[in-house]
Each structure stands twice: as C-alpha cells, then as structure tokens.
Structure 1
Amino acid sequence: MKWGTKYGPEYVNRLYAMVRRHLKGEFQFVCLTDRSEGIRAEVQCLPIPELTLPNGEPERGWKKLTTFEADLHGLRGTALFLDLDVVIVDDITPFFEVPGEFLIIHDWKRPWRITGNSSVYRFTLGAHADVLQEFRQNQAKAKAEFRNEQAFLTAVLHRQGKVQYWDGSWCASYKYHCIPFWPSSFWREPFIPKGARILIFHGVMNPPDALAGRNNGNWRHARPARWIADHWRE
C-alpha cells in the first residue's frame, strides 16, 4: 500500500523483486495506491478504498484497515500484506504455509501485550470485513482507545480468538535486532539475525538510511549496513 509522496515507486519495485526472489511458485502482486507512476508492469495497481475519518483527521496507517473490505476489487485468496519499507532476506514461502486465520508479528517492544506489528500480516481476503465495519461505525471511539490501526486490529481479532503470531525469529526489527548493542555499535556493523526472513524498518530509519549509516535522530548509533544493497534491489 502506497499513498502520498513519502515513498517513491522504487520501494514498490524493489519489494516486488525481493518477493520474486524469495517466494516459490506464482503469485499476484498488488499495490493499493493513489500514485502508480513509475511502478513496474508486473505489479497490479488498484485504488485505495475510501476511509474518511471524522473531522478531516489524517488517515495515516488507519488506511491499512481497508485491506479488510468484504470485496477488495474482486481479489480472492490468501493475502500476505507487506509494508513498503521491509527488506526480505530469506525464503518467505513459509508465511503462506503456517495454519491459522490471521497471523501477524508479535510486537517486540512490549511482548506481554497482545498488540501485533502490522508490517507483515496474513489473512483470507474478505474474511474479516467485520473489523473494518466496526471501525467505520465507531471511529471516534476506536481512535480514543487505540494508538494506531495495528492495536485496534489485533484487539478486535484477539477478541474473536483469531490472532496468531509468526515465529519470533522470522520478522526481525532492524533497530532492535540488527544493530549491535552500545557501545559495540560504533565498531561492529549491523547484521542479519539468525532465522530472520524479513527485516522490519519501523521508526525513523528506512533501508537507504541503514545502507548509509544514518540514524536520523534515533539514539541507536549504527554503522553502514552495506549488505542491505544485496537484498534491497530490483
């Protein structure tokens, strides 16, 4: 999903290329977007469904909830949602093989909570339209009770007993798991944790920042991760 100008088409194109290299068999790659310019032909670009928040509030990540439309442009089957700024470093076929109705990353920062990180989640298209319906009917209440869309999403599906989490090693946080502990981060390069399949870039650092060694104000100092270029490419 891509809206606005924060991420250019190269993010979509590189994400497609990473999926092609790391997913066995055929697949349909869809980008919900308001800007399709520069996106490679293999990607099917479709409009983002409308999600009008009360009082003209910014939609931001809440737009992700529109992936749960009862009929999302006629798409059918199993969907794996990937944030634009992830870096795939190993086979992601197992993400389609684990049984379960809804799978998501278990948030790393506060693992005692049920909240998931929605950078990577899997679901059956059209199966959870009630999540979106509940949000649309009670937007003000949802925004007052939940910090963001992933907290709301996880809470609703956990209430229904449908939430499961990926293997803890599969989705690694770049800033939590790849950057060596201080002070060794000043002389040791970031690394790919054992068992990681997808690296998640949340916060102020994105793949090009990691590649160049920019922390963008994050207190975690990091040397350039030159190996990012081996994975984050077309």
Structure 2
Amino acid sequence: MVNVICMKWGHKYGPEYVNRLFNMVQRNLRLEHRFVCLTDNSTGLDARIETFPIPDLPISLSGPERGWKKLTTFGKSLHDLSGTTLFLDVDIIITGSLDEFFTEVGDVLIIKEWNARHGKGNSSVYRFTIGAHADVLSNFAQNFEIIRSNYRNEQAYLADYLDKKGALRFWPDVWVRSFKRHCMHYFPKSLFVPPTLPADTRVLIFHGYPLPDQAIVGETGKWYRTARPATWISTYWY
C-alpha cells in the first residue's frame, strides 16, 4: 500500500481541483493506494477521498505564506499514514502512468527546478517516506527567521536542506514538465500555434499562471504573455 497526498487551503483552488486530481490518479496508478487530502475545508470533495486537517506548523507565521505548510508532511508522523508517499499539488495534470514514481530509486525525489534562481527543486511532485526526515521540519522550526531570509519559499529550503544531507534525487526530466516552459510557444509563434504536450510527459505542472482552466481557453494570466487555447488539457483534466 502506498499513499498519494495533496493539500488544499484557502480559496485559490476549489474542491473541483482535488476531485479532478483524484480521478486522474485513479486512471493512472495501478498500485494499491490511499488518496488523502490535507485540508482546512473538505466541503465538495468526492466522498471517496480521505481527508485530514493540515497539521499545525510548530511556529507562528507572519507575512506571505510561501507554501511553508507543505513542510508539515515531513513531521515524525502524519495522521495514520505510513510508508512511501507521493505528494502532488492540486493544480497539476497527470498525462501518463504514476507507477514508476513509486519505484524510481532514491530517498526523496523532487522535480529539478528549471530556473536556478528559484533554488534546486520544485515541490509540485515529490516522493518521501513518512517520518524518515523529520529534521526537515524541526530545523525549520528552530531556524525559521534565518530560513525565511535565505530561501524564497518552502521548496527552495526543502531541496537545499535535503541535498546537503545527500538525500535528494530528481525525477527523470521527461516525466515532469512545466506548461509554461515546455508547452507554450514564444511570441509570435504563440499567436498561431497552440501549446503542445511534449512526448513522454507523465505529469504537467502549472506553477504561477496560467492555471489549467485558464490554459484551456487560451488565457495566460499575464498581459505580456499570449497563447492559443490548449483544448487538449480537457482530455486529461477531468
């Protein structure tokens, strides 16, 4: 038995994002698994989804949240979950098999960040063993002010800390792609050619804007960025 978990808080993403993620996992993961959403509001979620509260951070946050809540998955325990666990952001699209995400060799696996200025890793998709690296969270609690001043967000800290421990590995590049970086075209090609999905992509991440529902209709979320509708998204995202 393996675990697939996600996290939803606040108002940016509605329950439909989690429900679609659940459906995509069911279509693309053959391994026996639990699907769990850590959330502050379970209203509207599919009844088949297990839900638990998001664990409290061991410190009081002030200022921008920056995804720090995700570090609570690295506590000594996580509700009644145990073992190998795949974390997925709720705004990703699954386009291929997830089975190998559980067999790929490595301690903690994460996406290699495409922009080195933003750190070493992107935590939209990461695999870990519950309780195996509780020091990620305890170190964060003990050194939060220093960490917040040195790292842009949770994933920058997470990847750098684990890399220094020798515990970090990256997913094969072709498995996880960025919609903005690998599907959208540069101007003026973007005016005429719709975004295209690279071959062998298994997970497509949407960091920043556009979000999947915007990309389907050709919205980019930025005035300076143009794109044709990526209607093919709807064949995966449901």
Which category of TM-score, normalised to the shorter sequence, fits these structures? over 0.9
Would you say how many aligned residue pairs link Structure 1 and Structure 2? 232
In 1, the alpha carbon distance for the partners of 2:181 and 2:224 equals: 12
- Verify: 1:78 aligned to 2:78, yes or no: no
The sequence identity of aligned pairs, in percent, is 50
Question: For the residues of structure 2 that align with 1:57 and 1:71, how far apart are their CA atoms?
Answer: 27
> Which residue matches 2:25?
19
Q: Which has the higher strand share?
A: 2
Using the TM superposition, give the Cα deviation of residue 206 of structure 1 relative to its aligned residue in structure 2, in angstroms. 0.6
Task: Provide Cα deviations, 1:26-82, integer angstroms capped at 9, x if missing partner.
Answer: 210010000000100111110001126546334340100000010110210111000
**Deviation (angstroms), 1:181:** 2.8
Q: Deviations along 1:183-233, whole A, 9 cap, x unmatched?
A: 111111111101110111001211000001001116331100001111110
Partner of 1:125: 130
Amino acid at match of 2:107: E
Letter in 2 for 1:166: W
Give the unaligned 5+ runs of structure 1: none
CA distance in 1, matches of 2:126, 2:66: 18
Asked whether the 8 Å contact 1:135–1:142 carries over to 2, the reply is yes
| Residue 12 (structure 2) aligns with | 6
AA partner of residue 184 (structure 1): K
- What is the CA distance between 1:110 and its match in structure 2? 2.5
TM-score (normalised: structure 2): 0.93
Deviation of 1:160 (Å): 0.6
Give the gaps of 5 or more residues in structure 2: 1-6
TM-score where L is the length of structure 1? 0.95
Q: Is the 8 A contact 1:54 1:140 kept in 2?
A: no
